[in-house]
Amino acid sequence: MSIRTSLLAGLVSAAVAGAASADIVVGWTINTAFPSGAGNVPTGTTYSPPNPAGAGLAETGANIAGSNLRSVHALAAATYTSPAGNGSQHSFSSNNWSPNDFYEVRFSAVGFNDLSVSWDQARSSTGPAAFKLLVSVDGGVSFTQITTYSVLQSGGGGAPGTWSSTTYNPLYTNSANLGAAANELGLVIVRFQNAEAAASSASGSNRIDNIFINGSVIPAPGAMALLGLGGLAARRRR
């Protein structure tokens, strides 16, 4: 094999690796505590209507710009706090849950396909346990249900564990694929929505943490050209 052919093979291998790699599109670990209070909008919120509370921009990932984590509650008395997360310093917590209240992330999927979401979620003994995961690929006009899931209690009798800022418990981690319709979109919205039919007690809380959108990086046009050159070189050698 000539030096030129060897170099080309190496470039093609790098292109193939880039095409198959998975990366963090956006991620939130709530690494900074935000002001607490009823109806409070924590600092860093970038999406305002209709007056949601939010933990703001993602802290990591390739598409941080324009991303947002927020929560919407029907009751103005809902209080937003940032207690210990699941192995991280803080989480995004709220109480006074009504049916269909939700946490939500917004982000751009440009440059990625094969999207998936993973997240940690826990509740108090009186917080809502039944949730559904929804995705919108039309700017929030409509939502498609991906799955339903149960939220485990943290702390207290019968709980499988207690969230700690220093110890991660995998029992509280969920994951799901977002579907091909979300690939490469400029705006994808994912909701973690309360599916309980009745409101929780005023003190009933739920918290979310370590939300990550992962995807496969779409290779740049130059990389695809290299793949074509690699195939041509291989045919010539044969």
CATH number for the domain spanning 211: value is 2.60.120.260
Asked whether residue 224 is domain-assigned, the answer is no
Q: Residue 186: pLDDT above 50?
A: yes
For 102, the token pair is: 């939700």
Residue 145: inside a domain: yes
The CA distances from residue 10 to 16, 195, 217, 237, in Å, are 10, 51, 19, 15
CB 191 within 8 A of CB 121: no
Domain, as residue range, for 28? 22-219
Each residue's pLDDT tens digit, 98-145: 999 999 999 999 999 999 999 999 999 999 999 999 999 999 999 999
pLDDT confidence band for 228 (50 / 70 / 90): low
Instruction: Please check whether residue 1 lies inside any domain of the structure.
Output: no
How high does pLDDT run on average in the chain? 83
Q: Which residue has the higher pLDDT, 95 or 236?
A: 95
Residue 5 counted as domain residue: no
The identity of residue 17, as a single letter, is A
Q: Is the pLDDT assigned to residue 92 strictly greater than 70?
A: yes
Tally of CB atoms within 10 A around 119 = 23
In a domain, 232, yes or no: no
pLDDT tier for residue 188 given thresholds of 50, 70 and 90: very high
Higher pLDDT, 169 or 16: 169
Q: Is residue 43 part of a domain?
A: yes
Query: 3-state class of 7 per DSSP?
Result: helix
What pLDDT, in 10s, does the model give residues 18-46?
Answer: 444 569 999 999 888 876 666 555 544 44
- At residue 77 the predicted structure's pLDDT band, cuts being 50, 70 and 90, is confident
Domain total of the chain: 1
Please name which of 59, 41, 209 lies closest in space to residue 123, comparing C-alpha atoms: 209
Helix (H, G, I), strand (E, B) or coil at 27: strand
Least confident of 33-42, 75-84, 86-95, 166-175: 33-42
- Evaluate whether residue 3 is within a structural domain: no
Q: Say if 191 falls within a structural domain.
A: yes
